[in-house]
Amino acid sequence: MIDETEKQLGVLDLTEALRIAQERTLDLIQVTEKADPPVCKIMDYGKYLYWLQKKEKSVKHHGGEVKGIRLTFNISVHDLEMRANQAEKFLKEGDRIRIQMILRGREKGLSDFAKGKFNQFLEILNKIIPIKVEGELKRDPRGFTMFISKQ
């Protein structure tokens, strides 16, 4: 059902549009400046501001998720390439990626080897798609974590 305030009026003179808005006790709101002639709406200004805020919130929520990729201590080069291809898909969708490596037992003592695997993964991924590292490699009690995104 189309409300009477939502009908399209076409191209009008500014004084005519203002007169119609005053008759309906509404406001004349310019929606876009780039069009020629400018596009305007006749509606309540408070309602329009509420609609803009709601629209901004929905855009923020759909900005991309944080996807996770887990690497293991003894991961092979082929498996690193497979994880890099999966990361490429996530990055092309606009998501951020949390890369984790969980270390168990004696693996925790060989943190330099684990960092080398991280760097090897980042090199493989950077050959496929340019990436941006969002912060340094963080040491957790259980292993290492890093966040990356598309450049």
Residue 85: per-residue pLDDT: 93
Could you report the per-residue pLDDT of 42-72, keeping only the tens digit for each? 889 999 899 888 887 766 544 568 889 999 9
The pLDDT of residue 4 is 53
Strand runs labelled E in 2-150: 27-32, 39-43, 66-71, 96-102, 131-133, 138-139, 143-150
What is the predicted pLDDT for the residue at 150? 84
Classify residue 61 as exposed, middle or buried by CB count within 10 Å of its CB (0-12, 13-18, 19+): exposed
Q: What is the DSSP letter of 59?
A: H
Query: According to the model, what pLDDT value does residue 70 have?
Result: 93
What are the residue ranges in the chain where pLDDT is below 50?
1-2, 61-62
Question: Quick one: the chain helix, strand, coil %, rounded to 5?
Answer: 45, 25, 30
Domains and CATH numbers, the chain: 4-61 (3.10.20.80), 66-150 (3.30.110.10)
pLDDT of residue 63: 52
pLDDT value for 66:
87
pLDDT at 145: 92
User: Which pLDDT value is given to residue 77?
Assistant: 92
Does the pTM of the predicted model rise above 0.95? no
